[in-house]
């Protein structure tokens, strides 16, 4: 098949120019959307409370106690830096830590001052403080309005919206419901006076170096403790760059002073908490030593009193040298026995602890009991470290993880080793105790030979010396532990405290928001233009035809501005008239090429009604007639005749009457006011238009017309709706297919392309009608005459009529488009 008849794809690429022109046509919508955006941003800006961000930085170090040495008899396992960062992060995320901070700062008490659109939290800028009674129930979430008067007086006002309120006791966070009177409750108080209302107790005092002005109004609002903790716990941001020992703490809030206080208090509480945990081992040891000192002290006091009483009663104040020597030996041996028993007691406690406990971090240091076995000291240190590590993982790792099984196996292995060490050491102590007891028995045999009164005195004195040495031993250990605890410092180093050194708002600058408002206002019209352009299937300029069809374009007709179709007759020098003359010249050239020397027949059709087919038929016929050619315009649109109105003639008789045999050709032919131009109207609408157009009388009519006229112009029905025009092609020497700007749809060309490709239409050309160059693609649909077609009425007169309904969207588009 010949390539010239190939149909071009009717779905061209996206038309950027059409999109831009369509967007420009929505300038009203641009103005409205940008105006709405600017108004919304303005309203937001005047209500916006800026947020600020402050931060503080801490570092974790391994700060070992400088008093630890090889000669220190007390040793404590503090662990290393490994794992401490995650432990500190877990502490910072814990609810208990934030509860301490909120309680210390009393952030559940908020000070507010009314502004134009809201109540702002002024915190320390308030000139007064509320000393709250935390042991009583206080109203929650109902602002207390304070209006200062003269003579240090102020009005306290509550506006209760319901009969019940929620109150909280901040000392233990207990809550309950209280009954109140609905409406406003107002009382007057003096600054410094204790306010004793059922739901509000405390004192209003002036802040240091501050004063209040008469009629100044402020608000105090008490918030639920847990809600405040949750809020600030969520606000605290924790950063650990590159998993280093540095931890960054930051917070965002509207009040920079609150951020400063909260961050700094966080570090203080964290440091104290970490130091307390770090000293837990030595604290346990000190508590153990204190309990032992208390016990020995009581015995020592009793021995001292008994010794003094006995000496006074018996009158014995000095002993001989032999008695002193025996007493000294017995005292040393009994001290050794007591030391052995203390070690055995520690081993028994340690054994019971290992067998019954799951945590191994609460034992006092073994050296307190004089334990110097290297294996036991090492293994206790190891099991303590593993227990601490397990506790860390429990805070960060999901329960049941394999790491716990591994740690439990290591702890269990060390526990069994320790139990074996205890068993071995206890057996050794038993043997050592047996030797000491034998020596004590030997010395006692010599002691028993002394006089009875001296024996009693020596017994009392020996017991006193034993308790004194034990007391001095524990006292020495206690002092050593105190020194170690006092010298212990936190692993947390405070690098930078939180401070407002000119913090800038982290929110978008208010002026910059207007730029986004403008950009946001441009998006809806652009998006609408994009969608309309993307889904627009109409032909908007002659250049579109290059991508839609290979049928040649014969001429381009401008928009008619007259009140009827006789533009060539009424304005022969207009651009539209010149366009029709150009079409006449092209047709004459076409006839010459095809050796058409007799009467020339031109058929004018289109895809659907409303594209200007009749307008073109009338003016093509007129331009031939004005050229001195005998011309007849035949109205063969039998379903919807129109050409008679423009010529001010009647449609009582016409082609239909001739075709059914009622009238002769001369009787249906009517003269017009245009010289050389006759018109045959279609006449009454017949019930069978297609059958009339294919009967033999149609052939006779065309034959008679060719004998009488130089040019015959056939105004036919739309080829896209009915088959009538196809039947008339056989009579045409040239066929003109009318396309109307902004009206004809691209897919409508598929039918005529197909007919052209199959060769069913000869000498076919396109006429582009309604071209509006000033408006680019044009948006004016009207010609100034009423076809009565419109897109919704394409089938009017050919199929059943349907009343067209104008949608709301179409009305909006029509309003927004100034060219429609």
Token pair for residue 96? 């208990």
pLDDT reading at 190 higher than 90: yes
From CA 626, how far away is CA 580, in angstroms rounded?
11
Of the pLDDT bands very low, low, confident and very high (cuts 50, 70, 90), residue 284 is low
From CA 25, how far away is CA 29, in angstroms rounded?
9
Q: What is the pLDDT of residue 313?
A: 58
> Quick one: DSSP state of residue 537?
-
Average pLDDT over residues 414-419: 84
Q: What is the per-residue pLDDT across 634-688, written as a single tens digit (0 to 9) for each?
A: 988 888 888 888 888 888 899 889 888 898 999 999 999 899 999 999 889 888 8
pLDDT reading at 738 higher than 80: yes
Token pair for residue 272? 């104290």
533-547, 656-670, 790-804: which has the highest mean pLDDT? 656-670
From CA 601, how far away is CA 361, in angstroms rounded?
113
- Indicate the range of 8-17, 271-280, 554-563 predicted with least confidence: 8-17
Judged by phi (left if over 0) then psi (alpha if -120 to 50, else beta), residue 202 lies in: left
Count of CB atoms situated within 10 Å of the CB of 703: 11
- Predicted TM-score (pTM) of the model is 0.52
Compute the mean pLDDT over every residue in the chain, rounded to the nearest whole number. 78
CA dist list (Å): 559 to 211, 330, 612, 617, 812: 82, 136, 10, 15, 25
Average pLDDT over residues 452-468: 59
φ and ψ at residue 84, rounded to 5 degrees: -70, -35
Average pLDDT over residues 506-533: 82
Contact 242, 166 (CB under 8 A): no
Q: What is the pLDDT of residue 357?
A: 72
pLDDT reading at 200 higher than 70: yes
Q: What is the pLDDT of residue 440?
A: 75
Q: What is the per-residue pLDDT across 590-642, written as a single tens digit (0 to 9) for each?
A: 888 777 777 789 999 888 888 888 999 999 999 999 989 999 999 888 888 88
From CA 48, how far away is CA 55, in angstroms rounded?
23
**Strand, helix or coil for residue 393:** helix
Contact 335, 470 (CB under 8 A): yes
pLDDT reading at 172 higher than 50: yes
Average pLDDT over residues 398-411: 77
- Indicate the range of 120-134, 315-329, 742-756 predicted with least confidence: 315-329
52-60 vs 492-496, strand pairing mode: antiparallel
From CA 596, how far away is CA 520, in angstroms rounded?
64
> Quick one: DSSP state of residue 455?
H
6-15, 152-161, 560-569, 604-613: which has the highest mean pLDDT? 152-161
Average pLDDT over residues 274-292: 69
Contact 611, 738 (CB under 8 A): yes
Q: What is the pLDDT of residue 724?
A: 66
Which residues on neighbouring strands pair with residue 166, listed in sequence order? 177
Delineate the domains of the chain, giving CATH numbers in brackets: 1-48+509-536 (no CATH), 109-223 (no CATH), 280-487 (no CATH), 552-560+592-778 (3.40.50.300)
Contact 392, 82 (CB under 8 A): no
* DSSP track, 165-212: EEEEETTTTEEEEEE--SEEEEEEEETTPEEEETTEEEEEEEPTT---
The radius of gyration of the chain's CA atoms, rounded to the nearest angstrom, is 55
319-323, 354-358, 738-742, 787-791: which has the highest mean pLDDT? 738-742
H or E segment at 709?
none
119-121 vs 109-114, strand pairing mode: antiparallel
- Indicate the range of 1-10, 89-98, 337-346, 457-466 predicted with least confidence: 1-10
> Quick one: DSSP state of residue 648?
T
Helix 613-626 to helix 575-593 angle, to the nearest 10 degrees? Answer: 80
Of the pLDDT bands very low, low, confident and very high (cuts 50, 70, 90), residue 393 is low
- CB neighbours of 203 closer than 8 A, spacing ≥ 6? 130, 131, 192, 193, 194, 195
Helix, strand, coil percentages (3-state) for the chain, rounded to 5, are: 50, 15, 35
Token pair for residue 756? 């052209």
Sign for the pseudo-dihedral over CA of 284, 286, 289, 295: negative
φ and ψ at residue 349, rounded to 5 degrees: -65, -40
pLDDT reading at 490 higher than 50: yes
- Indicate the range of 282-291, 295-304, 486-495, 575-584 predicted with least confidence: 295-304
Which residue would you say has higher pLDDT here, 64 or 526? 526
From CA 581, how far away is CA 570, in angstroms rounded?
14
In the block, which residue shows the tokens 């000496």?
311
Provide the CA 668 distance to its chain's centre, in angstroms.
78
Token pair for residue 328? 């000294």
Average pLDDT over residues 704-724: 82
Count of CB atoms situated within 10 Å of the CB of 472: 12
Angle at 722 between CA 10 and CA 579, to 5 degrees: 60
Average pLDDT over residues 725-729: 77
pLDDT reading at 305 higher than 70: no
- CB neighbours of 92 closer than 8 A, spacing ≥ 6? 236, 238, 247, 249, 266, 270
């Amino acid at each position: 098949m010949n390539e010239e008849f190939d149909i071009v794809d009717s779905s061209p690429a996206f038309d950027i120019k059409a999109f831009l022109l369509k967007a420009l046509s929505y300038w009203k919508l641009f103005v409205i959307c940008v105006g709405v955006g600017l108004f919304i941003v303005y309203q937001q800006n005047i209500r916006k409370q800026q947020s600020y961000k402050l931060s503080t930085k801490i570092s974790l170090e391994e700060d070992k106690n400088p008093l630890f040495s090889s000669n220190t008899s007390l040793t404590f396992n503090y662990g290393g830096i490994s794992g401490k960062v995650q432990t500190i992060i877990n502490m910072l995320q814990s609810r208990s830590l934030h509860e301490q901070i909120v309680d210390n700062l009393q952030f559940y008490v908020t000070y507010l001052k009314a502004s134009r659109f809201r109540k702002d939290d002024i915190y320390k800028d308030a000139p007064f403080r509320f000393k709250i009674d935390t042991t009583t129930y206080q109203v929650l979430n109902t602002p207390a309005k304070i209006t200062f008067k003269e003579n240090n007086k102020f009005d306290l006002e509550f506006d209760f919206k319901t009969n019940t309120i929620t109150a909280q006791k901040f000392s233990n966070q207990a809550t309950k419901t209280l009954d109140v009177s609905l409406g406003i409750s107002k009382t007057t108080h003096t600054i410094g006076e204790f306010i004793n209302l059922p739901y509000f107790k405390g004192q209003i005092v002036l802040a240091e170096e501050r004063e209040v002005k008469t009629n100044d109004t402020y608000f105090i609002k008490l918030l639920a403790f847990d809600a405040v903790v949750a809020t600030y716990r969520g606000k605290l941001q924790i950063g650990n760059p590159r998993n280093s020992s540095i931890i960054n703490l930051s917070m965002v809030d509207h009040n920079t002073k609150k951020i400063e206080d909260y961050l700094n208090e966080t570090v203080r509480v964290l440091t104290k908490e970490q130091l307390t945990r770090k000293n837990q081992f030595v604290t346990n040891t000190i508590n153990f030593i204190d309990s032992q000192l208390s016990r020995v002290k009581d015995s020592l006091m009793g021995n001292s009193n008994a010794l003094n009483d006995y000496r006074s009663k018996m009158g014995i104040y000095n002993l001989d040298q032999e008695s002193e020597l025996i007493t000294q030996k017995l005292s040393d041996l009994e001290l050794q026995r007591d030391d052995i028993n203390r070690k055995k007691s520690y081993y028994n406690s340690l054994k019971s602890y290992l067998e019954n406990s799951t945590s191994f971090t609460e034992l006092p240091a073994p050296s307190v009991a004089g334990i110097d076995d290297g294996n036991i000291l090492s293994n206790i240190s190891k099991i303590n470290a593993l227990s601490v590590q397990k506790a860390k993982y429990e805070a960060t790792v999901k329960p049941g993880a394999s790491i716990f099984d591994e740690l439990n196996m290591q702890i269990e292995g060390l526990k069994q080793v320790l139990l074996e060490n205890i068993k071995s050491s206890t057996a050794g102590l038993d043997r050592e105790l047996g030797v000491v007891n034998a020596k004590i028995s030997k010395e006692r045999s010599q002691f028993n030979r002394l006089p009875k009164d001296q024996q009693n005195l020596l017994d009392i004195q020996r017991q006193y010396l034993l308790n004194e040495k034990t007391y001095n031993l524990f006292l020495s250990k206690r002092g050593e532990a105190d020194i170690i605890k006092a010298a212990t410092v936190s692993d947390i180093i405070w690098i930078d405290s939180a401070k407002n050194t000119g913090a800038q708002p982290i929110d978008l600058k208010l002026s910059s928001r207007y730029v986004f408002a403008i950009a946001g206002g441009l998006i809806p019209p652009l998006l609408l233009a994009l969608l309309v352009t993307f889904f627009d299937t109409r032909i908007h300029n002659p250049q579109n035809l290059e991508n839609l069809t290979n049928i040649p374009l014969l001429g381009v007709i401008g928009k008619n501005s007259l009140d009827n179709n006789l533009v060539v007759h009424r304005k022969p020098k207009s651009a539209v008239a010149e366009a029709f003359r150009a079409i006449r010249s092209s047709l004459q050239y076409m006839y010459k090429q095809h050796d058409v020397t007799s009467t020339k027949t031109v058929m004018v059709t289109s895809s659907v009604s409303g594209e200007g087919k009749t307008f073109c038929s009338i003016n093509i016929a007129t331009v031939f007639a004005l050229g001195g050619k005998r011309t007849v315009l035949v109205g063969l649109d039998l379903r919807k005749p129109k050409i008679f109105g423009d010529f001010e003639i009647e449609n009582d008789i016409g082609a239909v009457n001739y075709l059914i045999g009622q009238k002769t050709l001369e009787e249906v032919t009517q003269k017009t006011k245009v010289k050389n131009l006759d018109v045959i109207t279609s006449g009454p609408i017949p019930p069978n238009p297609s059958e009339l157009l294919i009967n033999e009388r149609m052939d006779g009519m065309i034959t008679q017309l060719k004998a009488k006229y130089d040019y015959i112009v056939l105004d036919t029905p739309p080829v896209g709706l009915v088959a009538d025009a196809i039947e008339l092609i056989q009579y045409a020497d040239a066929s003109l297919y009318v396309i109307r700007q902004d009206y004809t749809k691209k897919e409508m060309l598929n039918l005529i392309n197909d007919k052209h490709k199959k060769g069913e239409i000869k000498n076919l050309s396109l006429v582009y009608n309604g071209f509006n160059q000033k408006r680019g693609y044009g948006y004016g649909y009207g010609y100034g005459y009423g076809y009565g077609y419109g897109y919704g009425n394409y089938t009017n007169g050919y199929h059943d009529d349907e009343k067209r309904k104008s949608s709301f969207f179409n009305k909006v588009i029509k309003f927004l488009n100034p060219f429609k």
